[in-house]
Amino acid sequence: MTAKKYPSQGELTLQEIGLMMNLTKERVRQIEAKAIVRIRAKLRSLNIKERDLIDL
Residue 55 lies in a domain: no
Residue 31 lies in a domain: yes
Instruction: Specify the number of domains making up the chain.
Output: 1
Report whether pLDDT(55) > 50: yes
* Structural domain boundaries, residue 37: 2-49
Q: Which residues pair with 4 in a beta bridge?
A: 12
Residue 24 lies in a domain: yes
Supply the pLDDT for residue 2: 46
Residue 56 lies in a domain: no
Cβ-based neighbour number of residue 14 at 10 Å = 20
Convert the pLDDT of each residue in 4-42 to its tens digit.
554 455 788 999 999 999 999 999 999 999 999 999 899
This prediction's pTM: 0.69
HEC profile for the chain? Answer: CEEEEECCCEEEEHHHHHHHHCCCHHHHHHHHHHHHHHHHHHHHHCCCCHHHCCCC
Residue 40 lies in a domain: yes
